[in-house]
Structure 1
C-alpha cells in the first residue's frame, strides 16, 4: 500500500545527527516514507545510510545546493504519489504520535496548505535532553511584524518561554518553521517550492506568505511535538548566519510589502540594522558580524531586481501591526501573550491552490 506522507530530511555532512535521530524518526513514523536528500556530503553519510538504514530512500544531489535549492531538487526527484511532504531538519527528533495530529487536521481542512508542530528544545548536554522550553526556530508558530522582524508564540527575540500548555490550541500563524514543515504536495508544487535566492534562512517565511497571498492558510498544531537542537548545522554565532538573516529579511520586505510602504519601511529597517549590527558585534566580540550586515545590505541591493514581487494584501492580514522591537526592548514585553494579539482565524477559503507565485 502506497503511503501518502514523505518525511524529507536534508543532509549536508550531518552524519552525527543522522545517527542520533533518524532511527527514531523512522520508528515513530510508520505511516510515512522516510527520505534523505544529500547535499554532496563528504562525511560518509550516504555510506552509513546504505549500511545501517537501507529502509531509508536517498536522493544524492552530488553538491551543496543550500537549504532552498536542495529541498527543491530533492522533493522534485520524489515519486508523485505523496499528498504531503514533511521537511524535517536532521537535528530534530519527533515525539511519539507526532504525525497524526498534523495530517488529521490537514485532511479535515483542505484550505490549510501547511502546518508545523510545537517545537521544543533538545539540549544534548542536559541529563534529560527533551526539555520543556520552546525552541527558538519555531516554538508554537511564527509571526512577523510590519518591519520584517520574525517572532513566535513562545519566543520573542532570544527569550524562549517554558511550555506550560499556554499555547496548546491549534491556531493560524503567519509562518511555519522550516525545522519541521508539513506542506501539502499540491501547494508545494503550485508555489514552486522555496525561492532559491534565499539559499537558507527565512525561506519558509517567504513560502508561507506566498501561500497566504494565494488564499491558503498556515497553522500550528501543538498536539504534535518535535524536539529540535537548533544551530546543529549552522551555529547562531556564525557570521554567515547573520549575513543570511539580515539579507533575507530585506528580501522578504521587498517581495511582500505593498508598493506604497516598500521604500520607507526598507529605509527604516536600514536605520534599525545599523545599531543591531554593532550590538551583535560587541556582544559576540566579533566584528565579522558587522561586516556580515554590511554585506547583507549590499547583496540585497545587488539581487533585489531578481525577486518576483508578490502583489497581495496578505502582508497586512498576517503581520503584527506594531513593532516587536519596541514592545520587547522599550515596553519590556517578553512573552507572546503580553502582546495581547493573535492572528484572526481565516474565513472559509478556497480549497485548491491557484496562481503560482515564486
Structure 2
C-alpha cells in the first residue's frame, strides 16, 4: 500500500527546519513525503530544495487556506493513502506502520488518526484531536482525551483502535480514491472543521473513521493561528454553523441552529464581560458571514448525502459545565 505524506506549509520555514527531519527519519521507508507550499513569501521552497532533496515540493499559486491548499496539492497524487499533516508535527518511531496495517486489515476504513499528544506537555493529549473526535447533538466537537479546555493526561487509556466520528486535520490519514469520491475538502470552510465535514461525508459513503491508539505523534499546535486568536474564533463559530446546516438531516437542523444561535450569544457575552471584545465581535462577524452564505450552504445541503446518527451525546455543554464531567471515559 503506497502512502503520501503531504505537509501543508505557509511561511513556515522555521517549522520545516524543526519538524521535517523527524517525519523523514520515521516515515521515509513507508511513505513518499511532499511539502505543499501555499504561496509562501519566505524562503520555504528554496530551503526544502537545498536541505531536503528527498522531499517533493508542490507549489500552489495562492494561499487558499487548509481546504483549497490541500485540494490543489493532492490532485496529482496516485498513492493509496494520503496523510494530511500539519507542519508542526513531531513523529515517533514506527508511528505509520499500525495505521497502514489497519487500512490493509479493514477495507471499510475510510480515514484515521494516531493519538495526538501535546509537544509542549508530552504527558498530555493535544487540544486539536487528542485520541479522536465526536460531536454532540448541537454540533459541539469534543475528543477522547479533551472536552472543551480540559485536556487529559495520557495514561494509556486510549491505546485501543476504535471507531470515532472525526479524525483531526492535524494528522489525517484518508484513502485517496475515497477523498475525491466524498467530495474532497469543502473550500467554503477555508480552515477549521473542514476535516469534520469530510469525515461526516466519508461515513455517508458507508466507511468508518478510527483512532489508532498504537500510533502516536506530538503536535505543537497554534503554529498558524493561536488558540485565542479572534480569527480562529470567527472560523470555528462560522464553520460549525455551516457544518450543521450542510450535514444534519431533516427539519431538526433548524431547531439545532436556533439553539446554537442562542448559545453562541451566551458565549459572545461571556467574552465581552471578560474584556475580550475582539472575540465578541468575532462571533458576531461569524454569524453575519454565515447568514450571507445561507443560500449557498443550503445548495450544498441538497447535494450532500446524509447519515441518520451523528451525535455521541445530547449536549456536552450541559454535561461539562453543569454536571461537571470533564473526562471522556466518565461520559457513558
The DSSP-based 3-state class of the residue aligned with 1:320 is coil
Q: Which of 289, 293, 299 matches 1:303?
A: 293
**Which of residues 10, 29, 40 is equivalent to 1:12?**
10
What does residue range 186-335 of structure 1 map to in structure 2 within 5 Å? Answer: 186-283=177-274, 285-307=275-297, 308-309=300-301, 310-314=304-308, 316=309, 318-335=310-327
Contact residue 121 and residue 228 of structure 1 kept, 8 A = yes
**1:305 CA drift (Å):** 2.0
Q: Distance in 2 between matches of 1:291 and 1:209?
A: 29
Which residue number corresponds to residue 20 of structure 2?
Answer: 22
The answer to whether the 8 Å contact 1:59/1:77 transfers is no
CA deviation string 1:189-247 (max 9, x = no partner): 21221000000000000000011111110000010101001111111111110000000
| Structure 1: runs of 5 or more not aligned | 124-128, 341-358
Name the SS of the counterpart of 2:129 in structure 1: coil
**Structure 1 Cα separation of the partners of residues 321 and 271 of structure 2:** 15
Indicate if the aligned counterparts of 1:154 and 1:160 stay in contact, CA closer than 8 A.
yes
Partners of 1:141 and 1:59 in 2: how far apart? 29
CA distance in 1, matches of 2:253, 2:156: 38
Distance in 2 separating the partners of 1:313 and 1:20: 41
Check the 8 A contact 2:201/2:305 in 1, yes or no. no
Which sections of structure 2, spanning at least 5 residues, go unmatched?
none
- Partner of 1:28, secondary structure, is helix
Cα RMSD, aligned residues only: 1.2
8 Å Cα contact 1:243/1:295 also seen in 2 = yes
Residue aligned with 1:198, SS:
coil
- The count of corresponding residues between Structure 1 and Structure 2 is 327
Q: C-alpha separation between the residues in 2 aligned to 1:107 and 1:311? A: 26
User: Structure 1 residues 286 and 321, CA, compared in 2 at 3 Å: closer, same or farther?
Assistant: closer
2:331 alignment partner in structure 1: 339
C-alpha distance in structure 1 between counterparts of 2:123 and 2:184, whole Å? 32
8 Å contact 2:203–2:307 — kept in the other structure?
no
Give the Å deviation of 1:322: 1.3
TM-score, normalised to structure 2, is 0.96
